[in-house]
Amino acid sequence: MATKKSFPLRIDPNLYEALEKWAADEFRSVNGHIEYLLREAVKRAGRLPGATKRGQEDG
């Protein structure tokens, strides 16, 4: 398994509380949910290898 990069994250307590509830609804940890949300945003922006930007067609 690849190692993961660790870093401190300062976040507004109200935002954290909302993320905590959302993560629980999705049966994820807050950390796992933040990673999921970031990964999806990066994919939509076409910043991951093999990903295309939303609205762009292949070819």
Domain count, the chain: 1
Share of the chain above pLDDT 90, in %: 73
- Do the domain assignments include residue 50? no
Q: Is residue 56 part of a domain?
A: no
Angle, nearest 10°, between helix axes 13-25 and 30-44? 90
User: Domain range for residue 23?
Assistant: 13-44
For every residue of the chain, DSSP letters joined together read ------------HHHHHHHHHHHHHTT--HHHHHHHHHHHHHHHTT-STT---TTPPP-
Contact partners, residue 54, CB within 8 Å, separation at least 6: 44, 46
Q: Is residue 18 part of a domain?
A: yes
Query: For the whole prediction, is pTM greater than 0.85?
Result: no
Q: Quick check: is 5 in a domain?
A: no
Q: What is the pLDDT at residue 59?
A: 41
**Mean pLDDT lowest among 4-8, 46-50, 53-57:** 53-57
15-32 per-position pLDDT tens digit: 999 999 999 999 999 999
pLDDT greater than 60 at residue 40: yes
Residue 3 lies in a domain: no
